[in-house]
Amino acid sequence: MPEELETTWRQIRAELRASAAEAAFDTWLAPLAPVDDREGVLTVSAPAETLRWVEARYLHLLRQSARRATGRALAVELVDEGALAAEEGEAQADGACVQPRPDTGDRALNPRYTFDGFVICVGNRLAHAASLAVAEQPAQAYNPLFLFGPPGLGKTHLLHAIGHYVRAYAGEMRVAYTTVEAFTGEFVAATRRGDFKRFHERFRDVDVLLVDDVQFLAHRAGTMEAFFHTFNALYESGRQMVLTSDRPPGELGGLEDRLRERFHCGLVAALEPPDMAARTTILRKRAHADGVEGIDAATFAEVARVAPPTVRGLEGALIRLVAYSSLTGEQATPELARKVLGGLLAEATRANAPLPKVEEIKHATADAFGLDVEALDGEGRSARVAFARQVGMYLTRELARESLPAVGAAFGGRRHATVAHACRRVEREVAANHDARRLVDNLKASLAARP
């Protein structure tokens, strides 16, 4: 790592440590590592299993900390450390002796995500029972097992719990965990090398394959093809697969029918928000795990009432309350919980609102720039048209939560690298230009206020 980048990152880490609760820093931010700092963009790697969570919850804090530490309005881009490692291996000089990349399947499992740590409630009872059955008898109970539900309800927790259980009680069985983003990165690296041996060893020479976020396969033709053949190879040889998604197979747009059919051929189990009793139990377990004492039942109940009704939302609310209590010296009480967490319920309501459709975003963006929607799909290169197109792609990525390839497909079939560049450019403009920030904020507000 260049010395200048190392120094910059030490300063940013110090800002992050000062700004985040200790438990949050140790769990989510400490594993981050700097990759590059050029052209106003700081690239940071994160473990595959926490990338989405850090991106959703801590990207704004990363930007703030980078700005305070460097005095520059840096954009921050998060990348999957697993995919990055694959690309770095591919880029080594021809003829060099490249050591095989160690299997990261075991290390990728979060030690906190076990069956003992999972809180069972009405909304997840089937998913939990099916996951335990799969862990006890891989490929004998339900294959594939497809878990789906909104973010933050425990899909990844169950995925990792299966991996831990198999390793503990069937140590001879090989387990691999991956996200679709990491799978894509390794597939691309293998394609560039023209050598799929390591790729096949990683994903086919296993007994249990755990795959997170399969909704991101959408519109990735090459990755879907590779995943289809990986699925077939494992299924036909009697290996277990467990998949997670934010939607059931039938609602996965941009996915090939043959993949949807295979996802349906096992058990499909939903996870729904926990009830009030389960929320309180989740909070108690997290407090116990973090060594937090002195919070009474009434305070736990109040946090459960005002926090977003997801595991992540509840844990985040508890971390916020404990941090505030620690910094101010005030006792954690129901009154303090209402004071500190009062806005979370409104945030959760907004977060649970239906996502805007891509066409809604395109029409709103075109109207804001005084253009026809067709201009966003076309090849026009004037400054106004190009920036409007970039804003539209940025908003589609941010608000509709579409993958880079899906955004590119929606805007005239552009490459995912073009979309990534567009998002970085808009982030820089928003950080440095008041007019750009106001325009993007107004578009976000109008799309949030749509009927």
Tell me the per-residue pLDDT of 170-229, one tens digit each, with 9 for 90 and over: 878 999 999 888 888 888 888 888 888 889 988 999 999 999 989 888 878 888 999 999
Which pLDDT value is given to residue 296?
92
Which pLDDT value is given to residue 233?
94
Which pLDDT value is given to residue 411?
93
CA 147 to chain centre: 16
* CATH 3.40.640.10 matches 122-270: no
**Tens-digit pLDDT profile for residues 234-270:** 999 999 999 999 889 988 877 888 999 999 999 999 9
The reported pTM is 0.58
* Rg value, the chain, Cα: 23
Dist. CA 197–CA 218, nearest whole Å: 25
CATH class of 3-90: alpha beta
Lowest mean pLDDT among 141-155, 258-272, 344-358, 397-411: 344-358
Measured in degrees and rounded to the nearest 5, phi and psi for residue 357 equal: -80, 155
Look at residues 40, 50, 130 and name the one whose alpha carbon lies nearest to residue 312. 50
Which pLDDT value is given to residue 80?
76
With beta carbons less than 8 A apart as the criterion, state whether 202 and 103 touch: yes
pLDDT for 86 beyond 60: no
Dist. CA 234–CA 301, nearest whole Å: 45
Q: Which CATH fold would you assign to the domain 358-448?
A: Chromosomal Replication Initiator Protein Dnaa; Chain: A; (1.10.1750)
**Tens-digit pLDDT profile for residues 314-337:** 888 898 888 888 888 889 999 998
Domain ranges of the chain: 3-90, 122-270, 290-351, 358-448
Measured in degrees and rounded to the nearest 5, phi and psi for residue 36 equal: -160, 155
pLDDT for 92 beyond 50: no
For residue 396, the tally of other CB atoms under 10 A from its CB is: 27
Residue with tokens 């296993």: 206
**Token code pair at residue 332:** 């954690």
